[in-house]
A and B are shown apart, each in its own frame.
Chain A
Amino acid sequence: MLKVENLGVSYGDLKILDGLSFTLEQGQWLMIAGPNGAGKSTVLRALSRGCRYTGQISLKGRDIKRFKPHILAQKLGFLSQRHEVTYPFKVREVVALGRYAHSKNALYGGAAGDEEKVSEALSLTGLSELAEKSVLELSGGELQRTFIAQLFAQDPDIIVLDEPTNSLDLIYQKQVFQLIEGWIKKEGRAVISVVHDLSLARLYGTKAILLDRGRVVAMGQPEKVISEKYLNPVYSMDVSGYMREILSTWQRG
């Protein structure tokens, strides 16, 4: 579905990403991992056309630069790491914006089926009860689910997530990952996400890329990529040893 070839991003003389290539097929959940400053979020910025890049990104054989923004949004949707809520929009209004790409040209912005899609997205994310609530009054988990609901309403083929459970409580972390896991099951869909938590990458990913300072260290099956062999040099520590140490506190309980 998605093909990235020789992707490079620089800010001035600083190379953030260098020569990244990968493909994404339907049904795949690609996990991008790596330490701080590896360029993980920059991959997503390039995909969302939020920064200049060299190389080529193509979607179903067509360069994404050649798509109009609203057509691209029908195929590719993004969840950013932070949500900037300043005004008291209602949850339903935020979710309904997800339909923009499908009814951009409708004078009053309401193509057939929009309402159903919005209600469906609200109920999928368990937000039906909160639909009329102001986004300023939501907890971090509810806010994150609101923007996931917006993505579901947008109904793209590929969703791209930047640290989707950053700073969320464990219960929400589990909810969010299960929501995505359910979403991906429908035909023709795929997910790319940046994750900090290496265990989550192994648990949910079907493919993984390990980045370090803008370059690919390893790519392939999550169990192989997210493994001692590659992680220890990249993080300069005994990663799995530390993970086991953390987990061992539970066995003592």
Chain B
Amino acid sequence: MPSSTVIRGGGFRPAAYGAMLLGTAFVFIISVCLGSVSVPLRDVFASVAAALSGEKQLLTGHSDIILSVRIPRVLCVALTGASLSLCGAAMQGILRNPLADGSTLGVSGGASLGAVLAISFGSRLPFFGGGGVVVTAIVFAFMSLAVILGLSHKLDRSLSTNTIILTGIVYSMFVSSIISLVIAFAGDKVKTITFWTMGSLANTDYLNVLTILTALLLCASLILMRSRELNAFALGEDNARSVGVNVKRVKLELLIAVSILIGVCVSIGGTIGFVGLVSPHMTRMLTGPNHKRLLSASMFFGACFLMLADLLSRTIVRPMELPVGVVTSFIGAVAFVFIFKKSGRVG
């Protein structure tokens, strides 16, 4: 009965989660098999079995590619896609703005600046060691969000869609000029830094997988627990306050969670634009706007979206490879226009 699903959470039935998991697994396997060198499916299974059981006789000629290149990379891609998509969905809810996303708001840009600064000045924070890049990216992501929202609020108290997006664009340009400045003085680190501005998950390893997975588990559970509050925010901050949401606290919690996730993703894969814009939007068309469904479905959808985009980037100009950010930005720019037009008609 529809009435009980709405009140009792309105989440998915277990079967629906199973179906989404299955779909994601299917895309995952395809992504592992295909690439500059295509690998037969049975080799994939044999290699995984070999790695898990430790029986060397199961290894095939492709095992090395599969185990140390493809699988960690595709895992990173899937987790990054899920993270960015979840962040997009959460920000679109908090700001009641269907165009909000780490890249359109300039948060990813801010995080990149943090990462670039950390790389070029070789910053090694006490206690964090090599994790300095990740931590700086997170801190810069949060500061960027604070600056962008604070500035938008000063310019336009009602925080309209256009004001936030414009502020985001201006902020992105500002940040990219500083990044260029840093690059000019970076000398031998130019090549590493250029990587951030493109956005690519090539050459990622299992440590990266573990880092994103940890951040995702932590932040996703926090964000998913706030589904009802996000529904309230999506109907306006005044409405959220009226129904009894602790507006300031919930907003701060969510923005911190989003910053951590974006910071971690950017520090590993650079700026991969528009994933958080395209994927929640497409998900919303299927699930409706209720965050009880939207958030979890967005994660699966985002994982699949980025895996397919990454697959495209690896195969479209074979044997060369495009950074995945190029592919997502291409799709995202078109989607942005489409969503902007649609939301303009409605709002």
Judge whether A244 is part of the interface by a CB distance below 8 angstroms: no
B343: contacting residue among A79, A86, A101, A114, CB under 8 A = A86
A89: contacting residue among B234, B244, B245, B347, CB under 8 A = B234
**Inter-chain contact A74/B244, CB cutoff 8 Å:** yes
Judge whether A94 is part of the interface by a CB distance below 8 angstroms: yes
Judge whether B11 is part of the interface by a CB distance below 8 angstroms: yes
Measured CA separation A93–B288 after assembly (Å): 11
**Inter-chain contact A50/B11, CB cutoff 8 Å:** no
Interface positions of A from 65 to 116, Cβ below 8 Å from B: 68-74, 77-80, 83-90, 92-94, 96-101, 104, 108-110, 114-115
| Cβ contacts under 8 Å, A132 to chain B | 2
A48: contacting residue among B2, B7, B9, B241, CB under 8 A = B241
Q: Nearest chain-A residue to B234 (Cβ)?
A: A87
Known: A80-B242, A100-B245. A115 touches B4 (CB 8 A): yes
Count how many pairs of residues, one from A and one from B, have CB atoms less than 8 Å apart in the complex. Answer: 116
Measured CA separation A83–B260 after assembly (Å): 32
Known: A86-B347, A87-B289, A89-B289. A104 touches B6 (CB 8 A): no
Expressed in whole angstroms, the minimum distance between the Cβ of B3 and any Cβ of chain A is 6
**Inter-chain contact B244/A84, CB cutoff 8 Å:** no
**Inter-chain contact A90/B6, CB cutoff 8 Å:** yes
**Inter-chain contact B243/A73, CB cutoff 8 Å:** yes
**Inter-chain contact A84/B235, CB cutoff 8 Å:** yes
Q: Nearest chain-B residue to A104 (Cβ)?
A: B244
| Interface mask (A5-34 → B, CB under 8 Å = 1, otherwise 0) | 000000000000000000000000000000
**Inter-chain contact B243/A86, CB cutoff 8 Å:** no
Judge whether A119 is part of the interface by a CB distance below 8 angstroms: yes
Interface residues on chain A, number (Cβ under 8 Å): 46
Known: A50-B241, A73-B242, A110-B9. A88 touches B288 (CB 8 A): yes
Measured CA separation A87–B289 after assembly (Å): 6
Measured CA separation A19–B8 after assembly (Å): 46
| Cβ contacts under 8 Å, A94 to chain B | 235
**Inter-chain contact A69/B245, CB cutoff 8 Å:** yes
**Inter-chain contact A101/B243, CB cutoff 8 Å:** yes
Interface positions of A from 114 to 148, Cβ below 8 Å from B: 114-115, 118-119, 131-132, 136, 147
**Inter-chain contact B97/A86, CB cutoff 8 Å:** yes
| Interface mask (A183-226 → B, CB under 8 Å = 1, otherwise 0) | 00000000000000000000000000000000000000000000
| Cβ contacts under 8 Å, A98 to chain B | 243
Expressed in whole angstroms, the minimum distance between the Cβ of A125 and any Cβ of chain B is 16
Measured CA separation A219–B239 after assembly (Å): 29
Known: A92-B2, A109-B9. A49 touches B241 (CB 8 A): yes
Interface positions of B from 200 to 254, Cβ below 8 Å from A: 228, 231-232, 234-236, 238-239, 241-247
Judge whether B346 is part of the interface by a CB distance below 8 angstroms: yes
**Inter-chain contact B290/A86, CB cutoff 8 Å:** no
| Cβ contacts under 8 Å, A115 to chain B | 3-4, 7
**Inter-chain contact B96/A86, CB cutoff 8 Å:** yes
| Cβ contacts under 8 Å, A70 to chain B | 244-246
Judge whether A165 is part of the interface by a CB distance below 8 angstroms: no
Q: Nearest chain-B residue to A94 (Cβ)?
A: B235
Known: A49-B241, A74-B244. A108 touches B236 (CB 8 A): no
| Cβ contacts under 8 Å, A42 to chain B | none
| Cβ contacts under 8 Å, A88 to chain B | 288-289
Expressed in whole angstroms, the minimum distance between the Cβ of B125 and any Cβ of chain A is 37
8 extra A-B contacts, CB within 8 A, seeds A80-B242, A118-B7: A48-B242, A68-B246, A70-B245, A73-B242, A78-B242, A89-B288, A96-B7, A97-B243
Question: Considering the complex of A and B, which 4 residue pairs feature the smallest CB-CB distances, nearest first?
Answer: A73-B244, A101-B244, A87-B289, A84-B236
CB-defined A-B contacts under 8 Å, sample of 26: A48-B241, A49-B241, A70-B246, A74-B244, A78-B242, A83-B236, A86-B97, A86-B346, A87-B98, A87-B284, A89-B231, A92-B6, A93-B10, A96-B7, A97-B228, A97-B232, A97-B235, A98-B243, A100-B228, A104-B244, A108-B8, A108-B9, A109-B7, A109-B8, A114-B7, A118-B3
Chain A contacts to B: CB under 8 angstroms: 48-50, 68-74, 77-80, 83-90, 92-94, 96-101, 104, 108-110, 114-115, 118-119, 131-132, 136, 147, 150-151, 154
Chain B contacts to A: CB under 8 angstroms: 2-4, 6-11, 96-98, 228, 231-232, 234-236, 238-239, 241-247, 284, 288-290, 343, 346-347
